Amino acid sequence: MAEQHTTTTKTTCPYCGVGCGVLATPLQNGTVQIEGDETHPANLGRLCSKGSALGETVDLGNRLLHPKVHGKRVSWDEAIVSVARGFSDIIAKHGPESVAFYVSGQVLTEDYYTANKLMKGFIGGANIDTNSRLCMSSAVAAYKRAFGSDTVPCSYEDIELADLVILAGSNLAWCHPVIFQRLRQAKEDRPEMKIVVIDPRKTSTCDIADLHLSVKPGTDATLFNGLLHYLKKEDYLDLEFLEAHTEGFAAAMTAAKTSAGSIPQVAAVTELQEQDIVKFYQLFASTEKVVTVYSQGINQSTSGTDKCNSIINCHLATGRIGKPGMGPFSFTGQPNAMGGREVGGLSNQLAAHMEITNPEHHDRVSRFWKADNLATENGAKAIDMFNEVASGKIKAIWIMATNPVVSLPDADKVKAALEKCELVVVSECEQFTDTTELADILLPAAAWGEKDGMVTNSERRISHQRAFLPLPGEARPDWWIITQVARKMGFEAAFPFEKPADVFREHAQLSAFENDGERDFNIGGLADISDEDYDNLVPVQWPVMANTEMGTARLFTDKRFFTPSGKARMISVEPKLPFNLTTEAYPLVLNTGRIRDQWHTMTRTGRAVRLNAHIPEPMVQIHPLDAATFELVDGALAEVSSQWGEMIVRVVVTDEQRPGSIFVPIHWSSQYASMARVDALVASVYDPVSGQPESKHTPVTIRAYQPVWHGFILSRHPITVKDANYWVKVRGAQFWRYEIAGQQSLDDPAKWAQQHLGEEGEWLDFTDAKAGRYRAGQIKRNRLEGVVFIAPSHDLPARSWLSQLFSLNSLSDAERYSLLVGQPSQGQKDAGQIVCSCFGVGQNTLNEAIQSGHVNSVDEIGQKLKAGTNCGSCVPELKKLLAH
Ligand code: SF4
């Protein structure tokens, strides 16, 4: 029977910085139907695999639904009093620098604004920082150095209008998939468009590249300095623009010439082929419409700010900014990283793009907020904040919507710091995370679909993230929680907010307050927005003044910048090596990043069965030459270690990885794996200008991890794995999957299996004690309840055909027999590793269709198997299979 629909709500995806519009329709069966919003300018109806699966992430399993103090459920009143009193007492004894807020690019602008106002305006310290520090703070610092303001000049439309798109340090296909789809479409429409990918790894983004530069990790500034020098030498500069609208050109050119004055010099540093460098430089030089998109691969470096400026320099030198199809375009990783920048969510910003240490700004914000205790000095940036927690300088910390025990570099040190911190408050949607486990006070926050407010995407577009579900339990929006604490701390008058629109209006009014055009961020056109207009606000790009109500697609069209002189600054960039270089003991470079179907620490995406199918286990990608050197086998386990920590992951041998460098995803926490927090290995060194850590370059070593036994359990119910040194937990359809391995032999595998799944039911099992093999199936009322497979090596039966047995109400004799022999019965098919998560199409199915000649193109795969026809995120992988 068809589902009856209730109301459809226009909202915004909570994942990446693309900021796609989503249509959400709660259904009567408790699920939510998700579609792309065709009217949203960011995605025009498209969604990627993560966005498409949003409806599968709204269940209440593992939700934190009630406030807790020291593990005991309390009322909201008690919780608010505990937080307010705890912070007030510590501030009274040790001053405002003894407390901190660590917030997130996941919270909404209204939440961010309220938190920032409380800390900087009324507590009087500036120890508020955000996980966006890890994502784009180098880009912010570089824009401010170059333009005098944190201004992203471009729109997504510029990427489609460009004739050359450079993707530097960006795996767009996996990290900003809908923009990748738009770019792919633009190239299909105009094949003469050129795309250059600069990335040590050959990622899925290279699928549409005309040129891939597998640059040596950390050498991007030399490549762009070389380009700047080439542009001058070959006479491609826009001298008129340089003369009239920039300063610092001569010094920047000298630095470029010194570090990258010839193609051989650039080739020696970057380890690129000279002809490839020349090809790139010629493309840039001879193409007027150029957009350079850059992301974490550039930003996450101890010289990330310089790298960003080396890119901006090339655009300024050619006057390619402020015009359609041109500009240096930093992409934000998170849904509201940009909103955080607007309100001053970083510890070295004030609010509305003003500076704490600028006396004029300080005075203005003090008067606007009627705050006589406004912070006078910048606070601690993320890494230093947790160092100060470790040293005891910071005695109370309030963590909102982020999981620093997993995501911050040197994560074990972060964990130890929180363990001994006097007061740890955590506002969260989830009950159990690596960070909530260390909380003294837990505050249940509203999740996506329940909360209401604004987010700003990478192109400065403010979109409404609307609620369409009731608040479950006692969950509350973050702005409300912060407001209650602020009032209880004695700041009632400054926190009169009753709804998000109240906060937003104040935020918009501050942006326009005494702003005669000297500050870029101005949304004064929304300052008096009615509640109704706030509810109905259509996505709009800032600045939004009374005379630009439709927003502003492009900045610097008038060639005026926000520096005192009105000119943009060219910055002299002296390329620097990464802080920690490889050594004999740690000979490989660890690069960390995202995978296609997971988001951050998996608290949301880990719930969606189809998102777990693409890459179910934490893994390390390594080049075949390195795999041979370190005696690693594809599919086996490896231990990766650095000076700071270690982890165990599955080995993926691939020539898409650069020799000498390995890649590990950032997503796995201790909730999903025994030992796979990659940030435990990452050094907490950071860019001195931006404070952004060097998450792309940690020296590590790797060795085969050789347990005595390997195995897996599929269970209809979640279990706790015992006696295993390695485990990974994966949510599947109607079952949980556990990949396991142990270093101590299992004396009695049958008993061990029953300890995990329970003794009840009918057990079919097979033991070959000599060979170390054990197989078992647990059946109740002829329905499969669990399977256990143990073997001496990782060579175990495929999980996909076994998984399918959980969907059956009754097992046939052949299926029972297949359990015993560990092989699919006739008629059963093993789909293999899932490639298309939307339709669950596996690699074996695809290979079979390709090899039989039934499909010869992505379109034909779509027609026959549907793969690639929904979100399109798997298209690069389909092309790879066809090519193989
Ligand atoms: S590209 Fe995907 S993850 Fe990013 S906002 Fe759009 S749907 Fe969400």
| Ligand 1 center–CA 12 separation, angstroms | 9
| Ligand 1 center–CA 208 separation, angstroms | 19
CA-to-CA distance for 495 and 476, rounded, in angstroms?
17
50 lines ligand 1 (CB under 6 A): yes
Residue to probe by mutation, ligand 1, list 11, 35, 50, 604, most atoms within 8 Å of CB: 50
pLDDT tens across 420-452, in order? 999 999 999 999 999 999 999 999 999 999 999
- The long-range contacts involving 534-539, CB below 8 angstroms and separated by at least 24 positions, are 534/464, 534/500, 534/501, 534/504, 534/505, 535/464, 535/466, 535/501, 537/454, 537/462, 537/464, 538/39, 539/19, 539/21, 539/40, 539/41, 539/42, 539/461, 539/462, 539/463, 539/464
pLDDT higher at 521 or 801: 521
Tokens for 248? 């610092």
- The yes-or-no verdict on residue 691 having pLDDT over 80 is yes
CA-to-CA distance for 406 and 412, rounded, in angstroms?
9
Exposed/middle/buried for residue 688 (C-beta within 10 Å: 0-12, 13-18, 19+): exposed
Under DSSP, the state recorded for 874 is T
- The yes-or-no verdict on residue 519 having pLDDT over 70 is yes
Q: Under 8 Å CB-to-CB from 111, ≥6 apart: which residues?
A: 103, 400, 401, 453, 477, 478, 479, 482
Closest CA to 670 of 636, 645, 696, 634: 645
Rounded percentage of the chain residues whose pLDDT exceeds 90: 92
Rounded percentage of the chain residues whose pLDDT exceeds 70: 99
CA-to-CA distance for 331 and 761, rounded, in angstroms?
54
Tokens for 396? 């109370």
Q: Which atom of ligand 1 lies at the shortest distance from residue 47's CA?
A: 7
Let me know: does 363 contact 371? Beta carbons within 8 Å. no
36 lines ligand 1 (CB under 6 A): no
Q: Tokens 């919507």 identify what position?
A: 401
Residue 29: its pLDDT value, please? 83
pLDDT tens across 737-788, in order? 999 999 999 999 999 999 999 999 999 999 999 999 999 999 999 999 999 9
Closest CA to 232 of 343, 317, 111: 317
Residue 830: its pLDDT value, please? 81
Secondary structure (DSSP) of 66-78? S-EETTEE--HHH
51 lines ligand 1 (CB under 6 A): yes
CA-to-CA distance for 752 and 80, rounded, in angstroms?
46
pTM over cut 0.85? yes
Q: Which atom of ligand 1 lies at the shortest distance from residue 22's CA?
A: 7
Closest CA to 304 of 141, 154, 172: 141
pLDDT tens across 342-387, in order? 999 999 999 999 999 999 999 999 999 999 999 999 999 999 999 9
Let me know: does 707 contact 739? Beta carbons within 8 Å. no
Residues in the chain: 884
Q: Which atom of ligand 1 lies at the shortest distance from residue 18's CA?
A: 5
What average pLDDT does this structure show over 38-44? Answer: 97
pLDDT tens across 264-312, in order? 999 999 999 999 999 999 999 999 999 999 999 999 999 999 999 999 9
Residue to probe by mutation, ligand 1, list 178, 293, 465, 604, most atoms within 8 Å of CB: 178
CA-to-CA distance for 319 and 616, rounded, in angstroms?
46
Tokens for 63? 């939700």
- The mean predicted confidence, pLDDT, of the chain is 95
Residue 1: its pLDDT value, please? 38
Give the closest residue (by CA) to ligand 1 atom 6: 20
What average pLDDT does this structure show over 541-554? Answer: 89
21 lines ligand 1 (CB under 6 A): no
| Ligand 1 center–CA 376 separation, angstroms | 38
| Ligand 1 center–CA 750 separation, angstroms | 45
173 lines ligand 1 (CB under 6 A): no
Q: End-to-end distance of the chain based on CA atoms, in angstroms?
A: 43
- The yes-or-no verdict on residue 5 having pLDDT over 70 is no
Exposed/middle/buried for residue 61 (C-beta within 10 Å: 0-12, 13-18, 19+): exposed
Closest CA to 177 of 594, 554, 542: 594
Cis-peptide, bond into residue 665, ω within 30° of zero: no
| Ligand 1 center–CA 21 separation, angstroms | 9
Residue 602: its pLDDT value, please? 93
| Ligand 1 center–CA 16 separation, angstroms | 5
Let me know: does 534 contact 501? Beta carbons within 8 Å. yes
| Ligand 1 center–CA 864 separation, angstroms | 26
**What does each C-alpha distance from 598 to 47, 50, 331, 869 come to in angstroms?**
14, 7, 18, 20
